Amino acid sequence: MKKILSFVLALILTVSSVTVAFAQNDNYTPVIHVTGMANTDLVLDRGLETEKQVFGAEEEDMNTMIKNLIAPAIFFLLGGSEERFAKSLVKHVTPVFEYIKYNEDGTSAYNVTIEKDLTVKYGVSSFIYDWRADPMIVADELKQFVDDVKAFYNSEKVILIAESMGGVMTSAYIYKYGYSDLEGVIYRSTAMYGLTLIGELYTGRFDLSAKEIGFYLNNFMLSEASQQIILRNVINTLGVFLVNPLVNKLDRFFENQSDYIYNEFLIDIFGYLPGLWSFVPDEYYEEAKEFMLDETVNAELIKKIDVYHYEVRPSINHTIKAMEADGVTVAFISHYGFSALPATENKSYMSDALIDTKFTSGGATCSDFNSTLGEGYVQAVKDGHNHISPDNMIDASTCLLPEKTWFVKGMLHTWYSDDYEDLIKWIIDENGAADIHSNPRFPQFLMNNEDDGTTLPMTEENMDFNSDKVTFEIVIDFVKSIFE
């Protein structure tokens, strides 16, 4: 039975933009931040009287949707008809997302563009784009922006910082135009190899679990402050017990009504977006096309999305190796320590709360979330260096560039600290000489401290967070904080 893609929206809400400040000098090479998904809003009929923000949706539209769904949701939870709630859900959610959809041939259904114009500026210039679009078209826009930045600085080359979906667009750009204009590429938390989340949703493997929902909520409570420790424990104990019946009811609802919701809403809104198709991992791709698309009706769309999957992605590893050999600074920065979004059958993989760590790192061997590689685990590739993390969760020896891949535990997807930005600046300043051995401040495995915003070398002493131990002293501290 076909199941739904409902948590695709969570992907959109998690990605944010970050800029890095670099001091300029006589040898300064301009930096372009190839942003992640949804770094700019999408607007309908920009510049016209009918202009309307369609993503993120205008507050009035969101409020109307929520208001209209309250009564049907309550009625359903109290024992009302699944079919009636499904119809209400589709009826009231569709208007909020109607204008972002593409036609069956992979072209925009409405006059929707990004909200802001691209601007070259001193410091880091951000490349923003329509995330729905075919990556090969976005690659043309990135090429033009690279040329504009080079002209602005009178520079022969630029440095790209590819973030999240920016890795997809950077890969398409390099495939199409080569890397002669590039002095460096930093891949941080990139999605160029895909996301298991999207692969599973695009093949119908939707599934909810109260336990995993509890794990996921813990992702966003990293602090060791007494309030967060107590709240984490409430979620992990009473939360699962109380929420489990509700989650089971919703899971049955999506199971029973998936065909209707899928056919009446999700395929029409999200099924034809070439940009989202770039997130489907290779192992899911053919099955996803069969599940989501019609080979005749969607023939033009399939022709477009096949280019990234069968031409661009297979070239990525070879091209990165070639860039490094030709003196281009190349580095990966990957985050881990978090559970996957609990919306699919496969929830056990290590992630940054959105993208699989194995993908953002270019091929690391990772334990499942909340587990280790196992006692007695032996490093997969014996290259004379230790690439196993102190917490025994990551084996970086299988990465594409094991000597130039850094891991930060406890850093959520596209959430950064000042120390993290220092790592990127140092990698760039070293002009290709930076590796995991050359700076004691930045070894291969780092630990993010949410309490003070520092990112430090990982040790056996600091490698754990979320202790989840509620002691009498913590409760007393919590009570004191209330009165203070």
Q: How far apart are CA 461 and CA 481, in angstroms?
A: 28
Peptide bond preceding 56 in cis form (omega within 30 of 0)? yes
pLDDT tens, residue order, the chain (484 aa): 333 333 333 333 333 333 333 444 457 899 999 999 877 789 999 989 999 989 888 888 899 999 999 999 999 989 999 999 999 999 999 999 999 999 999 999 999 999 888 889 888 999 999 999 999 999 999 999 999 999 999 999 999 999 999 999 999 999 999 999 999 999 999 999 999 999 999 998 888 776 666 566 665 555 555 555 555 556 566 555 666 777 788 888 888 998 898 889 989 999 999 999 999 999 999 999 999 999 999 999 999 999 999 999 999 999 999 999 999 999 999 999 988 888 888 888 999 989 999 999 999 999 998 899 999 999 999 999 999 999 999 999 999 999 999 999 988 898 888 889 999 999 999 999 999 999 999 999 999 987 677 899 999 888 886 545 444 454 455 455 545 4
The residue type at 157: K
Q: Mean pLDDT for the chain?
A: 86
- Residue 285 has a CB neighbour count (10 Å cut-off) of 21
- Could you tell me which residues are beta bridge partners of residue 446? 408, 457
Indicate the SS3 state at residue 234: helix
CA distances from 349 to 162, 196, 202, 329, 409 (A): 23, 9, 18, 30, 15
* Residue 90 phi, psi dihedral angles, 5° rounding: -65, -45
Taking the mean position of all CA atoms in its chain, how far away is CA 406? 17
Indicate the SS3 state at residue 253: helix
Residue in the structure block whose two tokens are 């205008």: 58
Q: How far apart are CA 204 and CA 288, in angstroms?
A: 8
- Could you tell me which residues are beta bridge partners of residue 481? none
**pLDDT at residue number 6:** 36
Enumerate residues 6+ apart whose C-beta is below 8 A from 83.
257, 260
Q: How far apart are CA 160 and CA 35, in angstroms?
A: 10
* Burial class, 477, CB count within 10 angstroms (exposed 0-12 / middle 13-18 / buried 19+): middle
Quick check: 207 and 17 in contact, CB under 8 A?
A: no
Quick check: 96 and 61 in contact, CB under 8 A?
A: yes
**pLDDT at residue number 15:** 33
- Residue 322 has a CB neighbour count (10 Å cut-off) of 15
Per-residue three-class SS string for 202-249: CCCCECCCHHHHHHHHHCCCCCCCHHHHHHHHHHHHHHHHHHHHHHHH
Report the Cα–Cα distance between both ends of the chain, in Å, rounded: 55
Residues in the chain: 484
Q: How far apart are CA 103 and CA 115, in angstroms?
A: 21
CA distances from 238 to 77, 233, 462 (A): 20, 8, 29
Give the domain ranges of the chain. 1-40+116-227+246-468
* Residue 406 phi, psi dihedral angles, 5° rounding: -110, 150
DSSP labels for 334-350?
Answer: EEESBPPPTTBS---S-
151-208: pLDDT as tens digits: 999 999 999 999 999 999 999 999 999 999 999 999 999 999 999 999 999 998 888 7
